[in-house]
Chain A
């Protein structure tokens, strides 16, 4: 079975600084997708960034980028120039052949002014 592990329950960063959230996963599938979702206190899940496993290039979305290490099954999220609005729970998620999402436990990110 596929699993997703986020080993950092809480992280904090100073406004305008850079922070990296860690995620590892386990799977025997070759075709899969990895995601980072953000869940603010309002609790609606919002997609931050997506990575297709067959792509070697790391995904980037504005201030958000990933470091995808397929052999190591690692998928970390880097947030540059952190803003107060980035404060939220961040979930790493895996989607395999059936496209259902397998989730990590989340990392609570605090942004300090």
Chain B
């Protein structure tokens, strides 16, 4: 297992275009999280899944953002009609579940850096 992988690593897009990012979590992990991180800031929670169910969405996630996790495996995050303010690093993380101890640890991918020009 190579850990959490995200694709692409970098994306440059023109304002108004749609973009889609993919995250492949660690295979036995039930929970998958999306965060957004802008320069000089800590990550901000966007949404998370327990298996295929999307359990929570942040108010940061406008109607232009949609996330899916079909079959409880990989996840996609789509941004429609991108704006310059969407430029950020999008981080994906997965964790085994909601138990105690080690089950709380989130493992992160390397992120997708989005630049909207």
Chain A residues within CB distance 8 Å of chain B:
4, 33, 35, 37, 42-47, 50, 52, 91, 93, 95, 98-106
Contacts and interface: CB of A to CB of B under 8 A. Distances in A.
Highest count of chain B CB atoms <10 Å: which of A43, A46, A99, A102? A99
B43 interface: yes
Interface stretch (B20-28, B69-77, B78-86, B87-95): B87-95
B65 interface: no
Nearest to B41: A105
Contact of B45 (A37, A42, A100): A100
B88 to A, nearest CB: 12
Contacts, number: 59
B99 to A, nearest CB: 10
B34 to A, nearest CB: 10
A35 B42 CA distance: 13
Contacts of A100: 33, 45, 48, 56
Nearest to A50: B105
Given A43-B111, A45-B93, A47-B105, A98 B43 contact: no
A102 B33 CA distance: 12
Given A45-B93, A52-B100, 9 more contacts: A42-B110, A44-B111, A45-B108, A50-B105, A93-B42, A99-B95, A101-B33, A101-B93, A103-B42
Given A95-B104, A98-B55, A103 B43 contact: yes
Contacts of A105: 40-42
Contacts of A102: 45
Highest count of chain B CB atoms <10 Å: which of A35, A42, A93, A98? A98
A45 B109 CA distance: 8
B42 A91 contact: yes
Contact of A99 (B40, B41, B98): B98
Interface string B29-57: 00101010000111111001000000110
A68 B78 CA distance: 39
